[in-house]
Copies of this chain bind each other. A is one copy, B any other.
C-alpha cells in the first residue's frame, strides 16, 4: 500500500504477458482490484457469467477476461486463454513483494559457523544455529529459529516465527508462513509393558523448489528416512504432514488437511480442506480428494474421490442418522423381502 505506486499502460502489459488488448493501449492502471471495490485506476478480473451483474456495475478501469467473455463489457480489456493466471502475473507485477534489506539485524543471534549469503537478510530477534546455510536473496523475518545444519536455498521468504529443526533442507524460492514448524519429531512410539517408548526420529524434512507452506502448518521429520515435499507443492494453513510422507510435485492441499505417516501422495493432486489421508498408502498422480473426505486405502487411478456427508436441519438429520447404525439390518430386511416376494411370485396361481 505504498503511496507512489507505479502505473502500467495496458499496451505495456500485453507486450509483457501476451493476450489480446481491446481498447486504448495507453490507458494506465496502478493496481489489481475486485470488480466490487475497484476504481478507475484498477484492473479487475472477470471469472464468468455468475459475476456479469458485478461487471456491469463495476467502477474498475479495465478487465482481464476469457475469449468467451470478450464482449461482456465495453471497458478496456485484455483477453487471455487463462485469464486467472494472467491476472496472477499482472498482480505480481503490481505487487512485487517488499524490498530486501540485506544483512543480519543486530538483535538476531547467528552462530559463527552459519553461512548467510551477503545478499540475504536475517530479521530482528531470529536465531540461526550452527552450520546453517542461507542462500542468495533469501529473507528470514523476525523471530525465526533455524536449527543446526539447516540449509535454505535462494530467494526464499520465511515469515516471522517459522521454526526449522536441525538438518532440514529447503529449496529455492520457498515461502514459509508464520508458525510453520518444519522437522519436529514424527509420532514414533513403541509399546513396552503398558508404556510408550520414543523412537528417535533421525530422518530429515527435504523441501523442493517453489514450495509454499501456510501458517501453523507442521511437517514432521522422518523416523529413519526423510519426509519429502517435492517441487511446486502448495500447502495451506494448519496442515499436518506426518513422518515419512512424500508429496509429489505440484500437488496442492487446502487448510486443515492431515496426512498420516508414510503416505505417498502423487504429483498434480489436489486435496480439499480438512481431508484426512491414512498412513502407509499410495495415491496416484492427478487425484482430486474432496473436502472433508477420509481416504482409507490406496488410490491407483486419477479421478475425484469423496466421502462427505450432507448436512440437514438438526432434527431431520437425527431421524436419519439413527438409521446409520442399523444399515446392516435394513439391508438384510430388504434381502428377505426380496426372497419372500420372489417366492410369492413363483407360487402365483
Residues of A within 8 A of B (CB): 1, 31-34, 36-38, 82, 84-85, 87-89, 91-92, 94-95, 97, 105, 107, 109, 123-127, 141-143, 145, 147, 149, 159-161, 163, 165, 167, 175, 177-179, 181, 184-185, 187-192, 194-200, 202, 210, 212, 214-216, 218, 220, 224-225, 232, 234, 236-238, 240, 242, 250, 252, 254-256, 258, 260, 268, 273-274, 276, 278, 288, 290-296, 303-314, 316-328, 330-331, 333-334, 337-338, 340-341, 344-345, 347-349
Bound CA–CA A212/B188 (angstroms): 11
Min C-beta distance of A278 to chain B, whole Å: 6
Interface contact A234-B189, CB-CB below 8 Å: yes
Contact of A177 among B160, B184, B323, B331 (CB under 8 A): B184
Return chain B residues, CB-CB under 8 Å to A109.
105, 107, 124-125, 142
Return chain B residues, CB-CB under 8 Å to A84.
190-191, 199
Contacts known (A88-B199, A234-B189); A216 close to B179, Cβ less than 8 A: yes
Bound CA–CA A327/B161 (angstroms): 49
For this complex, 26 residue pairs linking A to B, each with C-beta atoms less than 8 Å apart, are A32-B224, A84-B199, A88-B192, A92-B197, A94-B200, A97-B200, A125-B126, A143-B161, A165-B178, A187-B234, A196-B252, A215-B220, A216-B216, A218-B255, A240-B255, A273-B278, A288-B314, A290-B314, A294-B308, A305-B312, A306-B311, A307-B310, A307-B312, A333-B334, A337-B337, A344-B344
Bound CA–CA A305/B178 (angstroms): 34
Min C-beta distance of A113 to chain B, whole Å: 14
Give the nearest-CB partner of A36 in chain B: B225
Copies of this chain present in the complex amount to 3
Min C-beta distance of A147 to chain B, whole Å: 8
Interface contact A294-B292, CB-CB below 8 Å: yes
Bound CA–CA A91/B337 (angstroms): 60
Bound CA–CA A345/B341 (angstroms): 10
Min C-beta distance of A188 to chain B, whole Å: 8
Contact of A328 among B38, B212, B310, B319 (CB under 8 A): B319
Give the nearest-CB partner of A303 in chain B: B313
Return chain B residues, CB-CB under 8 Å to A142.
109, 127, 145
Give the nearest-CB partner of A145 in chain B: B160
Bound CA–CA A107/B238 (angstroms): 30
Interface contact A324-B322, CB-CB below 8 Å: no
Interface contact A237-B234, CB-CB below 8 Å: no
Interface contact B216-A181, CB-CB below 8 Å: yes
Interface contact A296-B310, CB-CB below 8 Å: yes
Interface contact A337-B331, CB-CB below 8 Å: no
Min C-beta distance of A93 to chain B, whole Å: 9
Contacts known (A95-B200, A125-B127, A237-B218); A345 close to B340, Cβ less than 8 A: yes
Interface contact B187-A236, CB-CB below 8 Å: yes
Min C-beta distance of A324 to chain B, whole Å: 6
Interface contact A273-B292, CB-CB below 8 Å: no
Bound CA–CA A199/B86 (angstroms): 10
Give the nearest-CB partner of A37 in chain B: B225
Give the nearest-CB partner of A253 in chain B: B187
Interface contact A224-B33, CB-CB below 8 Å: yes
Return chain B residues, CB-CB under 8 Å to A214.
184-185, 187, 218
